Amino acid sequence: MTRVGFIGLGLMGASFATNLLKAGYSLTVHDTRREAATDHLAAGATWADSPRAVAEAADVVLTSLPGPPEVTAVVLDPETGLIAGMADGGVIFDLSTNSPTSVRAVHAALAEKGISFLDAPVSGGPKGAVSGKLAIWVGGERGAFDANRAVLDALGDQVAYIGPIGAGSTAKLVHNSVGYAVQVALVEAFTAGVKAGVEPLALWSAIRQGARGRQRTFDSLGEQFLVNTYDPPSFQLRLAHKDVALACQMGRDNGVPMRLINLVLEEMTEARNRGWDAQDSRAVLKLQVERAGVAIEESREDVQAVLDGDR
């Protein structure tokens, strides 16, 4: 069976590595904190002291890292990076949310060494990482994808080849930035309705039954916004800010105006300046509540009762 290496045992990566072990892969792991690998080592994984050591022990390496700078350092450091240890014909899948421009540069550097680099960002959040119910969008050489798809199938149930290098990252940035923009627009109108005198739960219950609401666009408001609880986070604001910033950069790189997405980024920047980095990404919605001068804080039980009413 393919020897697999994994780097980045954070909120998502730890679950990915666990699922690779469950799938029966021989796994070598690395993280900036060895203690992050405690459970994986107990389950049969092997520890490596550097990305280079991971590459020397694996045919396929997956990375799950915070962003472009970390990916570039882990992959291209001439002394300790994957490029220093991976053999000709090796394959790297980057599961991180990355910049299309950055992944193309990394891809070009590795291609000179005969190493395939594919961007393979994921969508599904921490719960999806645990359950394996998540999408993985892949860009890069089709042959390398086809030959090693089974490794990705151990992580997600919706693995899709999108196109050449950078295509996966582009799909992820489009998906995430649109999602955050929709949330900001929803709450802008929602707070206006509350300010006009409609009780929040009644308004939410009503608009969910409209044409747009029946597509479940509004259901996301029930998780953090309606209950006014943003901790513990499902996905931290600082990470969401990074994703939207990358989308804005993608627009600049391609000469495409991103007016609404840039506004979303400004909202997120203001929220970060409030000290909300570690809160859930939807904490940005508190800014609009504050501007509108309304109070929205329903009980989880009442919110769930609305959802259960559909069934």
Average pLDDT in the 32-39 region?
98
Domain that holds residue 184: 170-309
Residues 252 and 121 in one domain: no
- The answer, yes or no, to whether residue 118 has pLDDT greater than 90, is yes
- The answer, yes or no, to whether residue 29 has pLDDT greater than 90, is yes
Distances (CA, A) of 175 to 36, 126, 143, 164, 172: 29, 17, 26, 18, 5
Q: Which of 143, 164, 185 is the last residue of a domain?
A: 164
pLDDT, tens only, 181-224: 999 999 999 999 999 999 999 999 999 999 888 888 888 899 89
Q: Which of 135, 164, 193 is the last residue of a domain?
A: 164
Contact between 171 and 246 under an 8 Å Cβ cutoff? The reply is no
Ranking 4-18, 68-82, 109-123, 296-310 by mean pLDDT, the lowest is 296-310
What backbone torsions phi and psi does residue 11 show, to the nearest 5 degrees? Answer: -55, -40
Residues 102 and 224 in one domain: no
Q: Which of 108, 137, 164 is the last residue of a domain?
A: 164
Residues 185 and 145 in one domain: no
What CATH number did the domain enclosing 16 receive? 3.40.50.720
Average pLDDT in the 243-250 region?
93
Residues 51 and 89 in one domain: yes
pLDDT of residue 311: 62
Percent pLDDT > 90 in the chain is: 93
**Contacts of residue 163, Cβ cutoff 8 Å, sequence gap at least 6:** 139
Residues annotated as catalytic are 172
Average pLDDT in the 238-251 region?
94
Residues 152 and 180 in one domain: no
**Owner of token pair 């259901």:** 219
Residues 107 and 38 in one domain: yes
Residues 160 and 179 in one domain: no
- Quote the number of domains for the chain: 2
Angle (deg, nearest 10), helices 167-195 and 200-207? 130
Q: Work out the pLDDT band at 172, boundaries 50, 70, 90.
A: very high
